[in-house]
Amino acid sequence: MYVQIAATLRDEMERGVYEPSGRLPSESELGERFSVSRVTVRLAIGCLADEGLVERKQGKGTFATRRRLRHRLDVLRGFYDSLTRQGVSVQMELLRFDECEVPPSLRKAFAPDVVSCVYLERLHRVDGEPVALAQMCMLPEARTISREQAATLPSYEMIELLPGWRIADADMSVTAVGAPANVGPWLDVGEGTPLLLMRRTSRLEDGRTCEATVFHIRPERYEIVVNSGVRKTPEDSACP
The residue range of the domain holding 46 is 2-64
Reported as a pLDDT band with limits 50, 70 and 90, residue 239 is: very low
Q: Is residue 230 part of a domain?
A: no
Least confident range of 19-23, 128-132, 234-238: 234-238
| 84 in the same domain as 18 | no
| 78 in the same domain as 32 | no
| 37, 64, 91 - which closes a domain | 64
Angstrom distance (rounded) from CA 56 to CA 62? 4
Number of domains in the chain: 2
Angstrom distance (rounded) from CA 239 to CA 227? 29
Q: What's this model's pTM, rounded to 2 decimal places? A: 0.71
The model's pLDDT over 63-100, given as tens digits with 9 standing for 90+, comes to 887 666 777 777 788 888 888 887 778 899 999 999 99
Assess contact for 93 and 122: CB atoms under 8 A: yes
| 74 in the same domain as 59 | no
| CATH assignment at residue 201 | 3.40.1410.10
| 55 in the same domain as 9 | yes
Tell me: pLDDT of 11 over 60: yes
The model's pLDDT over 177-228, given as tens digits with 9 standing for 90+, comes to 999 999 999 999 999 999 999 999 999 999 999 999 999 999 877 888 777 7
| CATH assignment at residue 53 | 1.10.10.10
SS3 assignment, position 165: coil
**What pLDDT does residue 73 have?**
79
